[in-house]
């Protein structure tokens, strides 16, 4: 998985690409560190470029959700499609994470 970061005043948008899976755990601390940016209110994960996510990847999204919540930041998943949408739906994480369809 690769990611690019776009920052505006209160929003951090992260464009994910490739596959988010169990071998990507080393990237998670870097994503969590982005939440420490002062003044951030919204943290958007744009998943348009993501082609695959496994159960470990979904676990990483939920860790990000917990970390964001602890900082009063709203995490939003955006542009889910294909196999990524299937996995997210199967995992039913829409109950705890905001998803923009």
Contacts with another protein, residue ranges (CB under 8 A): 19, 21-23, 25-26, 28-29, 32, 52, 54-56, 58-60, 62-63, 65-66, 83, 86-87, 90-93, 95-96
Nearest in space to 62 (alpha carbons), one of 32, 42, 19 = 32
For the bound state, the minimum distance from the C-beta of residue 7 to another protein, rounded and expressed in Å, comes to 23
Of 11 and 85, CB closest to another protein: 85
Nearest in space to 80 (alpha carbons), one of 92, 68, 89, 69 = 89
Of 10 and 66, CB closest to another protein: 66
Half-sphere exposure of 84 (CA within 13 A, CB side): 24
Lookup: tokens for 41: 């209110």
Q: What is the DSSP letter of 11?
A: E
Main-chain phi, psi angles of 98, to 5 degrees: -75, 130
Of 25 and 71, CB closest to another protein: 25
For the bound state, the minimum distance from the C-beta of residue 57 to another protein, rounded and expressed in Å, comes to 10
Of 10 and 89, CB closest to another protein: 89
Q: Decide: helix, strand or coil at residue 13.
A: strand
For the bound state, the minimum distance from the C-beta of residue 9 to another protein, rounded and expressed in Å, comes to 28
């Amino acid at each position: 998985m690769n990611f690019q970061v776009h920052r505006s005043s209160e929003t951090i948008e992260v464009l994910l690409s490739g596959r988010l899976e169990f071998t990507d755990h080393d990237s998670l601390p870097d994503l969590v560190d982005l939440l420490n940016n002062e003044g951030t209110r919204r943290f958007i994960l744009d998943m348009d470029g993501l082609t695959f996510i496994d159960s470990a990847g979904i676990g990483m999204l939920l860790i990000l959700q917990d970390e964001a919540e602890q900082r009063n930041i709203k995490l939003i998943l955006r542009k889910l499609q294909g196999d990524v949408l299937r996995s997210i739906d199967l995992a039913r994480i829409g109950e705890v994470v905001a998803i923009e369809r």
